[in-house]
Every structure is written in structure tokens, then in C-alpha cells.
Amino acid sequence: MLVFYEKRLALLSVPKTGSTAYQTALRDWADIVVSGPTDLKHANMRRYDRFFQTMFRKMFDTEMEVMAIVREPIDWLGSWYRYRSRPELTNHEHSTQNLSFDAFLNAYMQGPRPAFADVGCQSDFLLPRSNGAGATHVFKYENQEKILEFLRERLECDIELRRENVSPDRPMDLSTDTKRQFQSLHTAEFALHQAAR
């Protein structure tokens, strides 16, 4: 997570949406850089509002606008699937090395989810507290130029974005039935992505 106090903007780090690359590119302009531990780096909307936004309200009588990036839901889960297939996770409960993407997505649709498929969801990440506001600016991951244009204008800086934390390449074939079932069960995920810029 990055906070640009003077520009009244907070950039939440939604997992698997390029957050590490944005942190590297923008950390020199940020007033607050939260790169760890993971639960703080990837603080969701509710946690951000409860701790950070509350601090800004109480101490400075101001609020940050909140920015987030979301990915097409199947593509987002594909990134998790590939990320969890890396060699460091061999024989770990989170490993997806011996699974097809179709099997991973079917496991994600189970309740409760097995550990390797328990990765949350983007709509829950951005869900506001009952008395809080939601994200002000939500961008589609695939619209990188639009994201960079917004940040360059808002932060008044030049941004050079490099790819980081890249997941291994793996096939992401899905059966028609799995894809249809996933789309039916997770309409909120698709609605969130559709509504983003």
C-alpha cells in the first residue's frame, strides 16, 4: 500500500494486480510505503479505512481518496494458480504444481476451499466497512495506460513501470462447464471488473 498525503491519494495493493511493480515505481513519491508484513501491505478496504483513514480523519481532519486495480476474475485466479506453481512451493499445501487450471478453479468453487485455492476474492477485498466509503478510483488491470495516465497527472511525476513478481507460464485451459459454473457463482467479481475504468 502507498499513501501520497499531499495528493490525498492511497493506492491499495490488491494481490496479483501488479502491486509490487507499482510500489517499486512510486515509492520515492509516497509519504507512507507499506511493503510488509503481507497483511499490512495488502490491507483491504475495511482494514485501510479502520486504521489508516481513521488516523487521517482524527489527526488531520482529512481523508485520502482510495485507488485500486482489479483484474478480470478468471485471469486473476489464473495468476494465483501460476504463482502457486513456482518451485519454492513444491510439496507445500499451497502448491498447484500437480493441478490443471480447471481443477484449481473447481477447488476454488468448493466450500470450504482447500488451502491451495484459498485466495479470497477481489470484491471482498474492496468491500467497505458498514460505516465507511468504498474505493474512489477502481481501474481494470488490463488498462495500464489509463492507470499510468491517472497517476502521472495526479502525482505530477513520470512513472517507469517494470514487470516484477512474474508468475511462471502454465496452460490455463478451462472446460465450458467449469467456466459457466464459475461465472454463475461469482457474478459480483465480474460486476466489479465491469464497473472499473
Which among 69, 74, 89 is positioned nearest to 15, based on CA atoms?
69
Question: Does the global pTM surpass 0.85?
Answer: yes
Q: What is the pLDDT of residues 88-147, one digit of tens each?
A: 999 999 999 999 999 999 999 999 999 999 999 999 999 999 887 899 999 999 999 999
Beta-carbon neighbour count of residue 35 at 10 Å? 15
**Mean pLDDT value of segment 164-177:** 92
What pLDDT shows up at residue 59?
96
Question: What does DSSP say about strands 137-140 and 32-33: parallel, antiparallel, or unpaired?
Answer: unpaired
The pLDDT, as a whole number, for residue 5 is 97
Beta bridge partners of 33: 2
How do residues 131-145 score in pLDDT, each as one tens digit? 878 999 999 999 999
Number of Cα atoms under 13 Å in the Cβ half of residue 153: 6
The H or E element spanning position 102 is helix 101-108
Does position 165 have pLDDT exceeding 90, yes or no?
no
Cα distance between residue 118 and residue 39, in whole Å: 15
How far, in Å, CA of 23 to CA of 19, rounded? 6
Q: For 65, phi and psi rounded to 5 degrees?
A: -75, 150
Examine the pLDDT at 14 and tell me if it is beyond 90: yes
Q: Which domains does the chain have, with CATH numbers?
A: 2-195 (3.40.50.300)
